[in-house]
Structure 1
Amino acid sequence: MKQRIIVWFRKDFRLYDNPALYSAALRGKVLPVYIYDEKYEGSWRTGSASKWWLHSALYDIKERLAELNIPFIIQKGNSLTILRKIIRDTNADALYLNVRHEPHAYQQDQEIMKQLRQEDIVCHTFESHLLLPSHTVKKANGEPYKVFTPYYKAFLNQMVPKPFPIPELISFSYKDTLQIEDLQLLPKVNWIDDIAKNWEPTERAAYVKLRTFASHKIVDYEMGRDFPSHALHSAISPYLAFGQLSPRAVYHYIASKQEGHAFIRQLIWREFAYHLLHHFPHTVTEPLNGNFQYFPWRDDEDSFEAWSKGRTGYPLVDAGMRELWATGFMHNRVRMVVSSFLVKHLLIPWQKGAAWFWDTLVDADLANNTMGWQWVAGSGADAAPYFRIFNPVTQGEKFDDTGEYVRKWVPELGSLPNKYIHKPWIAPKNVLDEANVILGITYPYPIVDHAAARARALHAYEAMKKSLS
């Protein structure tokens, strides 16, 4: 007799290479279920931009399952209570789920499966979100890696499994379901309308993005990926974050391309982020380098507001923050510059920046977000040394030399000559007048002087070291 298996969807909104769904289809009838349970996420409840994406992703997977005549059950509330009710009402005898790696969600999963197994429910977990389970790659002595390069070399010795095909599904019925609108995921802030113009959150769109990247961008990716106006990024990160795109499918598809090695390396950086999250779960809020608990951070709400709204007076920083607000995305090079500006020019804690990114990025991902911010702050694994302080002017001149990126996102500076686009405060008055720029009115003066901010940051770092001696 075939099993009646609940397949619990979370961050795996796809049919292709969905290990839990595929394995359930081999063993019995399936009932796909999604439960919106904010308490399940602990302190990292879904951010505003991610809620919009989730709303659309739920519509997409529901429609794709409907094409196969398979229902998609949507519920809201306590996950264990709801699963027990569905099991009782349907006589289901198994629960299949793909692993969640976020520390709080992972712990919740373990507790739920423990409870259900005591009630004679078979529970199986599968790896869907990563190329390999996060504990796979480790040193010869069993310890985790803290530096990427040796991790990368060790990872390359592993075999990444091939993706599963879309399964043939047979369902069993259950009538008690909510509508997606009942979850009230869409934020009331109007900026979401702008974000929606830039993205199609569907599984099919994910593979279109992947093919477009491989066909038109990958050949120039390694040399050009640091230049934001070139737009050579793959734009698949939100699809990976929500599991609409299989990382294993990406890996094998890109590995088949002659120029794919640089992008494969980025995929393995993502694996490294989850490796760190698995072994050092406290780092989502605390520095991996414990010395940074004593760093003299500043509480400066006015400066944080200027940073978050793209009004710092540094054009590259402001362009990045405005791109984020308008699209839910920011180019990776610019992410490093704006993050460094917050924690080093302004001495505002990295956790505050991480929380802002979590709320506004459509590709918000706890492992990547944590690793990136800790790297910039100098407190994480493989971190940039604290004294490496990005100069937003020279970064702009190097990676946006014609100012194309700045002109797009900071249009009030659009008529400035290239010479002044990244440092309008040094432009002569006649140049500013001709470009219709009035510093302090149409565009702000810098909220900090770079040289003074750099000296202050290094002084704070030295103060931290002295407090430890």
Structure 2
Amino acid sequence: MTSLMWFRDDLRLHDNAALSWCAARGPLIALFIDEPVYRGTRALGGAAEWWRERSLHALAAQLAASGVPLLRRSGEPTAVLENLIEELAPTATIDAVAWTRRYHSPLREVDSEVKAHLRKKGLEVASHPGHTLVEPWEVTTKAGDPYRVYTPFSKAARDQVRDDTPLPVPNLKGGFAPEEEPWEKAEEPEWAAKLASHWTPGEEEARHKLSALDLGDYPAGRDFPARPATSRLSPHLRFGEVSVREAWTSASEQPHGETFQSELLWRDFAWHRLYYHTDLATVNVRRQFDAFDWEWDAPELGAWQRGETGIALVDAGMRELWETGYMHNRVRMVVGSLLTKNLGIHWRRGEEWFWDTLVDADPASNPFNWQWVAGCGDDAAPYFRIFNPETQASKFDPHGEYIAQWAPALSPTPIVDLRESREAALTAYSDIKK
């Protein structure tokens, strides 16, 4: 009997409950499915696609070293799994399938259908936690409702985070699988090639960063984009190359670890909100903002995307993003505020740009954070807060190091007057309260 491990956004061997479950049963075969784009979901952005391809190849090499094949198929999961089980039947009997849970409604429904179908066929099917610290249905108010404000959510969730030791790499024994042709190279945008000079996808690099995690300067330094105070673990967490629980455990062993853990809980908060708001990427959480007069095709959008607004901190951030597939979190808030409030452009245009260009863009955090900065999302209080890029630069890049690195030759006239656009935005936002 052979188990089938279905990998998704959990591309790791350490602390992978589904993989450990399969390994405990005996021989196993691993599988990755290139699924169709379901209604209510979307294809990966270019930068994330670049990352995932390399992470999958790294995972395949890790598994192969233990004699476990990683097969890759395309199509609807129910059909793919049924066909694969039949294909392997002459040499291997698949009697169990396991995976790590997903929390976005269209994918949850797919998984439920697959589970029901396979169980009817007599297979054992097990889904496991692992992508979040706490399951969405486990953190509720006394009335049984989901939290909509981060602070009470974080207090409740922190008390429920498991404190047991993360799982080690299980003893892997490969099941028989047919020889596979090398995977075809996925289509990637030409601009993504430069990402290789900034990132190394895969579990090995993720664990290296985790082991080197030093939070000594984190509380004070994390807001300064020129300081190396942040973990840069976000894309590794996005694809599950390291578990969020291991990151949590590592932080708990250091001074100031609670501050870093609060950021991990913010990530959980985003996933919990996506669990209840499946259309988070397209629909305002605060529905009164449906009437807000954001622009969609404003000419300033292109200047913002190219880092040519004439506003130093904003342009530095947008150029860092284009070059590296990443942007410092403080700067993300500033560029998002400028787009939605000073330029009056719909938050979805910014969210879509980040979705395509960020290596860490995921279905929860990306739209959740854009709705937060635009004021139409959960816990966006005060929702009319406007980040002044010049004030932010003087406070968090006082010596201009970050700006000098990413936008050294900036001299154009700003495309928007910060004071006038702030007053216009405050007026527009005050109308929403009426």
TM over 0.5: yes
Equivalent position amino acid for 1:330 in 2: M
CA distance in 2, matches of 1:28, 1:131: 28
Equivalence map 1:53-92=2 (5 Å): 53-90=51-88, 91-92=93-94
Which residue matches 1:212? 212
Equivalent position amino acid for 1:335 in 2: R
Task: Give the % identical residues.
Answer: 40
Q: Quick check: 1:242 aligned with 2:239?
A: yes
Q: Quick check: 1:450 aligned with 2:421?
A: no
**Paired positions, count:** 429
Which residue matches 1:433? none
Contact 1:74-1:179 at 8 Å conserved across structures: no
Contact 2:66-2:174 at 8 Å conserved across structures: no
CA 71–305 in structure 1, closer or farther in 2 if over 3 Å, else same: same
CA 84–320 in structure 1, closer or farther in 2 if over 3 Å, else same: same
Equivalent position amino acid for 1:203 in 2: E
Equivalent position amino acid for 2:430 in 1: E
Worse-matched range after superposition: 40-49 or 362-371: 40-49
Provide TM-score, normalisation by structure 1.
0.88
Question: Secondary structure at the residue paired with 1:151?
Answer: helix
- What RMSD over aligned residues (CA atoms) do the two structures have, in Å? 1.6
Which residue matches 1:96? 98
- Name the one with the larger helix percent: 1
Which residue matches 1:168? 171
Contact 1:308-1:321 at 8 Å conserved across structures: yes
Q: Quick check: 1:309 aligned with 2:301?
A: no
How far did 1:117 drift?
A: 2.0
CA distance in 1, matches of 2:255, 2:408: 39
Contact 1:41-1:105 at 8 Å conserved across structures: no
- Which of 117, 131, 134 is matched with 1:132 structurally? 134
Which residue matches 1:43? 41
CA distance in 1, matches of 2:19, 2:25: 10
Question: Secondary structure at the residue paired with 1:33?
Answer: strand
CA distance in 2, matches of 1:263, 1:205: 20
- Which of 395, 399, 403 is matched with 1:398 structurally? 395
Which residue matches 1:188? 189
How far did 1:116 drift?
A: 2.1
Which residue matches 2:24? 26
CA distance in 1, matches of 2:277, 2:152: 18
Which residue matches 2:263? 266
How far did 1:374 drift?
A: 1.1
Structure 1, residues 299-356: CA drift from partner, whole Å, max 9, x if none? Answer: 2342111111101110100000000000000000000000011110111111111111
Which residue matches 1:8? 6
Provide TM-score, normalisation by structure 2.
0.95
Which residue matches 2:315? 318
CA distance in 2, matches of 1:162, 1:102: 27
Equivalent position amino acid for 1:155 in 2: A
Question: Secondary structure at the residue paired with 1:93?
Answer: strand
Structure 1, residues 174-214: CA drift from partner, whole Å, max 9, x if none? Answer: 2164533x1x424132x222211011112111111122222
Equivalent position amino acid for 1:136 in 2: E
CA distance in 2, matches of 1:178, 1:287: 45
Which residue matches 1:285? 282
Worse-matched range after superposition: 380-389 or 392-401: 380-389
- Which of 94, 104, 107 is matched with 1:105 structurally? 107
Contact 2:40-2:279 at 8 Å conserved across structures: no
Contact 1:55-1:186 at 8 Å conserved across structures: no
- Which of 330, 333, 340 is matched with 1:333 structurally? 330
CA 243–22 in structure 1, closer or farther in 2 if over 3 Å, else same: same
Equivalent position amino acid for 1:173 in 2: F
CA distance in 2, matches of 1:347, 1:134: 33
Which residue matches 1:157? 159
Rg larger in structure:
1
CA 118–371 in structure 1, closer or farther in 2 if over 3 Å, else same: same
Contact 1:376-1:384 at 8 Å conserved across structures: no
